[in-house]
C-alpha cells in the first residue's frame, strides 16, 4: 500500500478529496467567489460605503459633543473629533475592501479544535 | 389610508397598540410579529426535527439546512471557537429571517423596519463582542485599539480613530438592516399607490397602472431576496465582529 505511507494526514487529505468529489463537503472558499456569482451590485456597495462613512462621523460628532457638554469646552472637542470621525469612516471603508488578516478559514485549518469543550 | 392623490408611504411604519389590554403596556404590532416569528422558527425546528428520520422529509431538510448553514457560517467565520457562539448566531439569524420574510406578506409588519429594534439587536451584538473580548483577553483586549508598527506619536491620533471605528459598528450595523427593510416597503407602497392613482384615471391610465403593478410584482420578489440577504448579512457581520473579539484582528 504505497499510498498509506503518508500517515493519517494523507488519509484525511484523500478522504476530503473524495468527499469533495461527491459533493459531501462544502467547497473551500476561494477568494472573490464567496460574494455570489457576479458580486454585490454597485448600488449595494455604494450604500454600504456611505453608511460606513456617515456612521463613523455620527459617532465622532456624538463623542465630541458629549465631551464638550461634560467639560464645558464647546466647541473644541467637536472640532477635534469631526476630522477623526472622517478618518475612522475611511478606515471602515478600507477594512471593508482590504484582505482580512488571519481570517477564519485559515484558522480552522491550522489550529486544532478545542478539546472537550 | 392616504387621501386620494397623495402618496402616504410612511404611515405603514406607525406603531399601534395590539392585543387589547397588553397593548397599553407598550405591546405593539411589531412585538406581535416578533412573537410570531419566534414561534414559527421554533415550530419549524421542533416539528421538523420530530421524525428524526435518517432520510429527512421536507420540513426536516429545511430545519437541517438552516442549522448547518448557520453552523458553517459561525465556525468558518469565527474559527473553532465559533461553536460556542453558534446558538447565538443561529437565534439571531432565524429571528431576523422569519421576521423579514413575514414582513413581505400584506398587512404584516416588518419589525426590522424600526430603527429601535435593529439598534437594540446591534447593541446586544456589540456589547456581547466587547464582553467576549474582555473575557478572553482580559485587559489585553484594549490592544485591539492600538495599531501595530506605528510611531508612538501617531497613537494619539490613531487610538481615537480606532475607537470611533469600533463604536461606529453600532450605527452602521443597525442602519444597514433598518434602511434596507424600510426602503423596500416604501417602494412597495409607492408603486402600489401608483397602481390605484393611475387606474383611477380611466382607460388611458390602465396601461401605466399595469406597468406599475408589474414593477410591484418584481419588487415583491426583490423584497424576498433582500429579506433573506439582510438576515444573512446581519448574522455574518456579527460573526466577523465576534471573530475580531476572539482573535484580536
Number of domains in chain B: 1
* Helix pair angle (B58-78, B82-103), 10° resolution: 130
DSSP helix/strand/coil, B248: coil
- Could you please report the per-residue DSSP string of B111-143? GGGSHHHHHHHHHHHHHHHHHHHHHHHGGGGGG
Nearest to A59 among B72, B77, B171 (CB): B171
Placement of cell 484582528 in the chain? B249
CA distances from B204 to B6, B32, B191, B212, B216 (A): 20, 42, 18, 14, 20
What's the rounded Cα separation, in Å, for the pair B190 and A14? 57
Q: What would the mean pLDDT of B176-185 be, rounded to a whole number?
A: 92
Residue B55 has a pLDDT of: 86
Write down the residue that cell numbers 469612516 correspond to.
A89
pLDDT(B178) > 90: yes
B244 Cβ under 8 Å from any chain A Cβ: no
Task: Calculate mean pLDDT across residues B111-135.
Answer: 94
The C-alpha cell of B193 is what? 399607490
Task: Identify the closest residue of chain B to A94 by CA–CA distance.
Answer: B165
Cα-Cα-Cα-Cα dihedral sign, residues B135, B140, B143, B145: positive
Locate the domains of chain A by residue range: 42-98
Residue B203 CB contacts under 8 Å (≥ 6 apart), including other chains: none
Question: How far is residue B197's CA from residue B201's CA, in Å, rounded to a whole number?
Answer: 7
Checking A105-110 for CB contacts under 8 A at 24+ apart, the result is A105/A28, A105/A29, A105/B76, A107/B79, A107/B80, A107/B247, A108/B75, A108/B76, A108/B79, A108/B80
Task: Determine the pLDDT at residue B26.
Answer: 76
> Which of B168, B169, B249 lies closest to A102 in CB terms?
B249
> Looking at residue B23, what is its pLDDT?
65
Q: Which residues pair with B28 in a beta bridge?
A: B17
Average pLDDT (B45-67) is: 90
* Omega prior to A75 cis, within 30 of 0: yes
Tell whether B9 is covered by a domain.
no
pLDDT at B94: 96
Which of residues 17 through 56 in chain A touch B, CB cutoff 8 A? 26, 29, 47-48, 51-52, 54-56
SS3 B62: helix
Q: Would an 8 Å CB–CB cutoff place A81 in contact with chain B?
A: yes
Q: Provide the residue count of chain A.
A: 117
Distance from CA of A1 to the nearest CA of B (A): 34
Q: Which domain holds residue B114?
A: 15-247
CB contact under 8 A, A114 and B243: no
B2 within some domain: no
Angle of CA points B220, B222, B226, to nearest 5°: 115
* Domain-embedded: residue B1: no
Q: ipTM surpassing 0.85, yes or no?
A: no
Of B81, B84, B161, the CB nearest to A84: B161
Calculate what percentage of chain B has a pLDDT beyond 70: 97
Residue B8 falls within a domain, yes or no? Answer: no
- B3 in a structural domain: no
Residue with cell 463582542: B129
Residue-level pLDDT at B249: 66
Amino acid at each position: 500500500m504505497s499510498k498509506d505511507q503518508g500517515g493519517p494526514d494523507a488519509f484525511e487529505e484523500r478522504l476530503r478529496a473524495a468527499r469533495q468529489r461527491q459533493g459531501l463537503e462544502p467547497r473551500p472558499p476561494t477568494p472573490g467567489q464567496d460574494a455570489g456569482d457576479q458580486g454585490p451590485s454597485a448600488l449595494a456597495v455604494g450604500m454600504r460605503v456611505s453608511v460606513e462613512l456617515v456612521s463613523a462621523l455620527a459617532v465622532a460628532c456624538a463623542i465630541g459633543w458629549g465631551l464638550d457638554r461634560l467639560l464645558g469646552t464647546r466647541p473644541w472637542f467637536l472640532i477635534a473629533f469631526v476630522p477623526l470621525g472622517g478618518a475612522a469612516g475611511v478606515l471602515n471603508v478600507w477594512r471593508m475592501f482590504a484582505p482580512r488578516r488571519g481570517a477564519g478559514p485559515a484558522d480552522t485549518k491550522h489550529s486544532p479544535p478545542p478539546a472537550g469543550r | 389610508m392616504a387621501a386620494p392623490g397623495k402618496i402616504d408611504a410612511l404611515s405603514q411604519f406607525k406603531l399601534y397598540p395590539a392585543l387589547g389590554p397588553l397593548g397599553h403596556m407598550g405591546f405593539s404590532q411589531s412585538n406581535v410579529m416578533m412573537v410570531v416569528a419566534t414561534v414559527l422558527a421554533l415550530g419549524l425546528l421542533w416539528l421538523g426535527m420530530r421524525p428524526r428520520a435518517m432520510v429527512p422529509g421536507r420540513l426536516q431538510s429545511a430545519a437541517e439546512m438552516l442549522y448547518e448553514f448557520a453552523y458553517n457560517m459561525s465556525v468558518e467565520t469565527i474559527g473553532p471557537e465559533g461553536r460556542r457562539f453558534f446558538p447565538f448566531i443561529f437565534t439571531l439569524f432565524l429571528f431576523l429571517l422569519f421576521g423579514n420574510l413575514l414582513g413581505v406578506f400584506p398587512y404584516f409588519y416588518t419589525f426590522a423596519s424600526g430603527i429601535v429594534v435593529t439598534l437594540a439587536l446591534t447593541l446586544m451584538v456589540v456589547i456581547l463582542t466587547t464582553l467576549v473580548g474582555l473575557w478572553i483577553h482580559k485587559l489585553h483586549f484594549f490592544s485591539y485599539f492600538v495599531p501595530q508598527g506605528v510611531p508612538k506619536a501617531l497613537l494619539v491620533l490613531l487610538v481615537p480613530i480606532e475607537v470611533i471605528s469600533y463604536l461606529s459598528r453600532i450605527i452602521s450595523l443597525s442602519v444597514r438592516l433598518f434602511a434596507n427593510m424600510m426602503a423596500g416597503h416604501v417602494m412597495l407602497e409607492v408603486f402600489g399607490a401608483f397602481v390605484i392613482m393611475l387606474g383611477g384615471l380611466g382607460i388611458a391610465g390602465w396601461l401605466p397602472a399595469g406597468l406599475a403593478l408589474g414593477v410591484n410584482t418584481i419588487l415583491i420578489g426583490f423584497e424576498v431576496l433582500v429579506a433573506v440577504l439582510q438576515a444573512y448579512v446581519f448574522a455574518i457581520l456579527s460573526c466577523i465582529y465576534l471573530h475580531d473579539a476572539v482573535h484580536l484582528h
